[in-house]
Amino acid sequence: MTSSATLLQLMWLASPALPVGGFSYSEGLEAAVDHGRITSEAQAQAWLLDQLALGLGRGELAVLAQAVEAWRDGDAARITALNDWVVRTRESAELRQQAEQMGRSLLEWLRNRSDDARLAVLAALKPAPTYPVAYALAAAQTQATPEETLLAYAFGWAENMVQAAIKAVPLGQSAGQRILAALAAEIPHAVLQALRLPATQRQAFTPMLAILSSRHETQYSRLFRS
């Protein structure tokens, strides 16, 4: 069974209060609202469920699973390759900025908590450590399994995205909780798929999300950075 200390560490990493700035990004959802693609609770829920299955599950969660093992094995070359993949597959300037800014912020948080020698490897990643790779190191410092790590990461993402939907659509808190319940029900399946996904089958192909994210860069009125 997961120890109490490990469980608390995972809850900490999944918390929206983690000082990495996740609350300031909507990952294209705000642009989808602006273009009339999301106008209701049902549409917001469908959008986020698709993003979980088609984006997060096939890309970031798979990277995270492989990065946790690489950090524990001390495989710096593998870490570099995974970080490079994340950078190359961000389909807009805003999505890349998010991955890099949150990665740098998590690096600083980790530096304030420990003197782990692996932090030097993380800091040396170019052009910056990305969030999934930095998160993997934070998880590798605990006794959490890869599955537990992915569940925490995905739930943290879900909470941030639901809050973005509540503000952008806008929706009420009860609607947000219903969407979060729907996401929580699908997260275990997305995590298992990511754990089983071979490295050669990772994907980052969400064309409409990429288009909307690019449009968001010039959107007249914005609450979020992406």
The structure tokens listed for 77 are 């070359």
In a domain, residue 106? The reply is: yes
In a domain, residue 147? The reply is: yes
pTM: 0.96
Residue-wise pLDDT tens digits, 130-171 = 999 999 999 999 999 999 999 999 999 999 999 999 999 999
In a domain, residue 9? The reply is: no
H/E element, 67: helix 60-73
In a domain, residue 136? The reply is: yes
Q: Please state whether the peptide bond connecting residue 127 to the residue before it is cis, i.e. omega within 30 degrees of 0.
A: yes
pLDDT at 70 over 70: yes
The CB density around residue 42, as the number of other CB atoms within 10 Å, is 12
In the chain, % of residues over pLDDT 70: 100
CATH code, domain carrying 82? 1.10.4190.10
In a domain, residue 222? The reply is: no
pLDDT band at 220 (very low <50, low <70, confident <90, very high): confident
The CB density around residue 223, as the number of other CB atoms within 10 Å, is 11
pLDDT band at 1 (very low <50, low <70, confident <90, very high): low
Domain count, the chain: 1
Tell me which residue range forms the domain holding 55.
Answer: 22-216
| Mean pLDDT confidence for 1-18 | 90
- Among residues 18, 10, 34, which one has the least CA distance to residue 169? 34
pLDDT at 111 over 90: yes
